[in-house]
Structure 1
């Protein structure tokens, strides 16, 4: 027979057990908004719709992509930051909203760390370092030597002031003491034209842009992933090229408003991880030039803080004007 003390302990534990059971069985009671802070048709929109379709059946509610473009994605992030923390509004996030915007001094209506609950580091896409075909170099080491010793600053392109392609090159410039100067473009297409014509010496650009380029043979010298990228296995990493510990990623993550209960965060983490492990999602990610990650809330939160610190330090001496 159970003792009186055991019965009392069991009685006291029942409310906690009931709350735990409810939490583990949480499900949304209405359609869920997955806010994509970009216009329809881009890679993030494709990714968002892919995941929305994958998780809809398993959560028992429609997960609807809501495109909130504007201000480099800040409007979409603001929408989620101000939403109720009930698990029915999620953000498909990139560094542009959660780390780079603050690092370069954008005036924000939200705190990119305090106002969001990280859920999942979904995927990574490295950037590639490409060089003009007329440069007398064969590899990354040769390009770095040429840029260090250049009598006049060598022009490099980016896809815009304050973008990741700008900050990654500025990080490399500071580390390797390169004599280069920034020439911003509105996207990769115009920059590619000037690169192929020799008016631009080099640039960092997303791997999907490289894979989709059809105007001629680009000279890809390195990628910023820790290991060689599957879609371009012949291209060495920056680390293999001699730049110690140099990695960078165009990452995508999932976040909710701050204050969202831990059990709700865990449910969404589990659902998106299941989707991430399907052959369909893996195949589509590869086509987008990305690889799955799958790190959970704690690891994703660490990435956000480290990313913010890195790009804040890189941007500090640049006097970037973004308003």
Structure 2
């Protein structure tokens, strides 16, 4: 009788234990959002904007930590090694994940298996710009000139293995363009040589075009599927006769692999609401980006497709960085 009474008194406790283990995550300290770039750049601005908007939705602080170095790889490594408890997140870009692996960088992490995709935050197209002295007035004319040039036309990038390099190499391979790569350390030097006619063309981010063009360059195309609102008179490459040619300078939110699904969902919901808010959308437009907001599954599918694409493009280039 006493044994039955004891078991009956313990039953509610035994049932309560798994219920507590399965309860929704209730954070008791600030979330660390690692931005793998130095303060002041567009990704840093975006990270701080999202942290400010998502914090109240989560009911806790979201603190930005800048961990720059090696094109963002240092910050990504820190997140990959962090505990999968939802308190450490990565503001991720292709530079640490898909392109990094595609060009053969020596990584301490696997971009697909060492992270959990949380949210697809935003997209920004690249713009194809040409030297003012180049005898073309539109995208079709530029592509025709690049195909028929007796000598390779020099094109600039913001560095070997960057998205501005690989997007142009993809276009070159698809259309058989007679062009050759001239890498720069960032956009400033490339803009100077482009304005002077020493470089024929280059891909560059839309914000860079909006900030630096001032009529110095011919802005002839964008890599989005539809025209970009900030430069509505510029056609897409698809409109210019390159079927299905898209390329995005994307941003996402990633967590360490093994982060529990209920935590991932909580984070995705809060940051997704932040991305969809009017204040964030307005600031994204100023950064030359459009909100995406797709969930972790869609973000993960995009990562796999992006890695496959850039691996194919980079394979014949024999890129050596490390």
TM-score bracket, normalised by the shorter chain, equals over 0.9
Do the aligned partners of 1:27 and 1:60 also contact (CA within 8 Å) in 2?
no
Residue 136 of structure 1, CA deviation = 1.4
Partner of 1:181: 180
Q: Rate the CA distance shift 1:214–1:146 in 2: closer, same or farther, 3 A.
A: closer
Equivalent-residue separation in structure 1 for 2:215 and 2:237 (angstroms): 23
Q: Larger deviation: 144-153 or 158-167? A: 144-153
Question: 1:129 aligned to 2:128?
Answer: yes
Equivalent-residue separation in structure 2 for 1:45 and 1:118 (angstroms): 20
Partner of 2:107: 108
> Which sections of structure 2, spanning at least 5 residues, go unmatched?
1-11
1:39-82 CA-to-partner distances (Å, cap 9, x unmatched) read 00000000111111111122222111000000100000000000
Equivalent-residue separation in structure 2 for 1:94 and 1:110 (angstroms): 15
Equivalent-residue separation in structure 1 for 2:118 and 2:207 (angstroms): 25
Within-5 A mapping of 1:206-217 = 206-213=205-212, 216-217=215-216
Residue 17 of structure 1, CA deviation = 9.3
Within-5 A mapping of 1:255-294 = 255-294=254-293
Equivalent residue of 1:120, what SS? strand
Question: 1:195 aligned to 2:194?
Answer: yes
> Which sections of structure 1, spanning at least 5 residues, go unmatched?
1-10
Q: How many residues align?
A: 309
TM-score of the two chains, using structure 2 as the length reference: 0.93
Q: Structure 1 stretches (4+) deviating beyond 4 angstroms?
A: 14-17
Question: 1:22 aligned to 2:10?
Answer: no
Partner of 1:3: none
Do the aligned partners of 1:227 and 1:237 also contact (CA within 8 Å) in 2?
yes
